[in-house]
Amino acid sequence: MLIEGLFLFLRTYPLRIFELLKWLFKGKVYFKRQIAQAVEPDVQSLPYNSRLIDWLIEQRIQGATLVLATASDARLARAIAGHLAIFDDVLGTQDLNLAGANKRAALVARYGEHGFEYVGNSSADVCVWQAASLAHVVNPERGVLARARGIGRMGDVFDDQLRYAKGVRKAFRLHQWAKNLLVFVPLLAAHKFADLHLVASGVLAFLCFGACASSVYLLNDLLDLQDDRQHRTKRNRPLAAGTFPMFHAMVWIPALLFISFGVALVWLPFKFSLVLLGYYVLTLAYSLVLKRAVMIDVVVLAMLYTTRVVAGTAAMSLTPTFWILAFCMFIFLSLALVKRYTELYEVREKGIQEKAPGRGYVASDFELLASLGGSAGYLSVLVLALYINDPQSHLLYRHPHWLWAACPLLLFWLSRVWIIAHRGEMHDDPIVFALRDRMSRWVCICFIAIFGISAF
């Protein structure tokens, strides 16, 4: 709970980040108390282990006394106990950090050596299990289950976490790496896809952006825990659902950044690292502040997509053309507006009139977003048509007249995306929708084929 409170504080008061260091220097107890006083996590939406809760209720029916003994601040512990309404007493951190040996001493003083059963999950709980009559384990950290079994008084195990490899895949949002294929757009537009050196640079840029983006996704998910738990689909994200350890996410965030920038600085042009840094800073600003600013958020989202294309030109030492930048600006603005439109659709369906959770929009903005998004999408088709009509573009294609087939194809796809969104059938991420939607995949294949036929 300390990690959750910490990131809730950072999200709520991003400009007070340096206060955290001051609090930490005054000790862990003081740090926990200040976090608990500054922010209050929504205890109703916390990802409780349902099997454990059912088991505790059963034990209480059989006459057991249930005590919530936690290292979390006592104020937060009382709030959780009040919500669950199954505990007879609550022990939390007050003047003493109630973890490890301190928790063991407190429980032994109350109930005697081996006079209680204990449910825990971390290495700090091993010494408490040694003094307990039975060791019950819930969502254990790596290696903790074996240590608990080694004590010899093993009780029940309640583990609803994902297998680690699957947890990493979902928490890193590896399916979102498809967005990073945009780094290859300049290569294709310049018709230099046969240059293996440029292809290799593109692959490295793809991997660097993937690692950087996954680091950002983890940070964003830690900052958005409460909002995600209120969302129809985002509540299933590993961190929001409690199926991936928050501490591991905190470790992976700097590790992925180190890998991303390390590879970029060693193997790619320095200007690519600058673009990557700009992407990270802009994404950080979006996660902390800008995602709640009306219209600024969708413009920033469009910029983040376009940055991937610019990064591709930097990695391959190519020059981004006016046509690529103009096309990307409009089509990605349309997709960003689809994303917000879909969120507002759910808000309107729930009858909520105030602002959408974590956003600056209200339900009455619904129709306007559709108008803006459709217009932006059609402007991207206009840019494509002007590109096709440009005499300079004809120099790149043997049969440029075939390119005109791409315009009605793009018109069809964009119109279909907005119709699906209007019906409330759009995934909350239009990129994920495009990857899963069979028609979208066929449109993509046809689009590539049209440009291929035109070129050769």
353 CB-near residues (< 8 Å, 6+ apart):
362, 363, 364
- 103 vs 188: CA distance, rounded Å: 62
Residues in the chain: 456
Q: Would the CA dihedral through 263, 266, 267, 270 be positive or negative?
A: positive
- 419 vs 426: CA distance, rounded Å: 9
Check whether 358 has a pLDDT greater than 70: no
Burial readout 35-65 (b: 16 or more C-beta within 10 A, e: otherwise): bbebbebebebbbebeebeebbeeeeeeeee
Identify the band that residue 213 occupies on the pLDDT scale cut at 50, 70 and 90.
very high
At residue 31, what are phi and psi to the nearest 5 degrees? Answer: -60, -50
Identify the band that residue 72 occupies on the pLDDT scale cut at 50, 70 and 90.
very high
pTM of the model: 0.87
At residue 91, what are phi and psi to the nearest 5 degrees? Answer: -125, 125
CB 160 within 8 A of CB 137: no
* Summary mean pLDDT of the chain: 92
What's the distance, CA 227 to chain centroid?
12
Q: What is the mean pLDDT of residues 148-166?
A: 87
The model's pLDDT over 426-441, given as tens digits with 9 standing for 90+, comes to: 987 888 888 889 999 9
The model's pLDDT over 74-90, given as tens digits with 9 standing for 90+, comes to: 999 999 999 999 999 99
- 338 vs 286: CA distance, rounded Å: 18
C-alpha count within 13 angstroms, C-beta hemisphere, residue 83: 14
What SS3 class is residue 289? coil
For position 6, what pLDDT does the model report?
93
43 CB-near residues (< 8 Å, 6+ apart):
76, 79, 80, 82, 83
Residue 15 DSSP one-character state: G
Cα-based angle 215, 316, 377 (whole degrees, multiple of 5)? 70
In the block, residue with structure tokens 């920033």: 300
Longest dimension (CA), the chain: 88
- 36 vs 32: CA distance, rounded Å: 6
- 202 vs 186: CA distance, rounded Å: 10
The model's pLDDT over 96-122, given as tens digits with 9 standing for 90+, comes to: 999 999 999 999 999 999 999 999 999
Identify the band that residue 29 occupies on the pLDDT scale cut at 50, 70 and 90.
very high
For position 352, what pLDDT does the model report?
62
CB 86 within 8 A of CB 57: yes
Check whether 357 has a pLDDT greater than 70: no
Identify the band that residue 354 occupies on the pLDDT scale cut at 50, 70 and 90.
low
Residue 90 CB neighbours (<10 A): 17
Q: Per the structure block, which two tokens stand in for 393?
A: 């573009």
Domains of the chain: 42-158 (3.40.50.1000), 165-320 (1.10.357.140)
Bridge partners (DSSP) of residue 93 are 73
For position 351, what pLDDT does the model report?
67
